[in-house]
Amino acid sequence: MVLLRTPDETHEFGRRLAELLRPGDLLVLTGPLGAGKTALTQGIGAGLAVRGRVVSPTFVIARVHPGGRIPLVHVDAYRLGSLDEVDDMDLDVAVADSVTVVEWGAGLVEQLADARLEVKLSRLPDSEVREVDLVPVGGDWATRLTRL
């Protein structure tokens, strides 16, 4: 577990996490509104040096940020209600060559990759401090996380 005291620390943690990422990686972010999912993704985008401003894709559902070390696919699955809706987005086409970060994706996107990193964010009560729990699922995630 990691404690992040400010949005800037959340952003910087995302930059550091980006150093570990490779094409085909899937990150599934969970946490309540305001927990820092988008701020973390902005840090990941900065760490990958992708083009374009990383903002919440709530209304467009998915944004592709090309360029940089690895392209970033940023998805907000909040309004998606089923696996069929995820399949309709054809995300699997971009997954192999990109880092895919999915906010609100638990229970919807796990089939996109054999391994994934689950990032659980929460906000401590009456505080701006965020708590981040990284849960490696398959692959070599556990080994990679030791370098963080």
Residue in this structure with the two tokens 């692959």, named with its chain if needed? 139
Q: Give the pLDDT mean for 28-44.
A: 93
Looking at residue 48, its pLDDT comes to 96
**Which contacts of 122-129 are long-range, i.e. CB under 8 A and separated by 24 or more positions?**
122/31, 122/32, 122/35, 123/31, 123/32, 123/34, 123/35, 123/36, 128/5, 128/6, 128/7, 129/3, 129/4, 129/5
Q: What is the pLDDT of residues 1-12, one digit of tens each?
A: 899 999 999 999
CA distances from 37 to 45, 65, 77, 94, 140 (A): 12, 17, 12, 21, 23
| Distance, CA of 134 to CA of 58 (rounded, Å) | 23
Q: Give the residue with greater pLDDT, 94 vs 92.
A: 94
Residue in this structure with the two tokens 């060559």, named with its chain if needed? 97
| Distance, CA of 100 to CA of 24 (rounded, Å) | 7
Task: pLDDT band for 78, please (50, 70, 90 cuts).
Answer: low
Q: Which domains does the chain have, with CATH numbers?
A: 22-121 (3.40.50.300)
Q: What integer best gives the mean pLDDT of the chain? A: 85
Q: What is the pLDDT of residues 126-139, one digit of tens each?
A: 888 999 999 999 99
Side chain identity at residue 117, one-letter code? L
Residue 65 has pLDDT above 90, yes or no: no
Q: Give the pLDDT mean for 42-63.
A: 81
Looking at residue 63, its pLDDT comes to 74
Q: Which of 63-67, 68-72, 114-118 has the lowest mean pLDDT?
A: 63-67
Residue 135 burial class via C-beta count within 10 angstroms: exposed 0-12, middle 13-18, buried 19 and up: middle
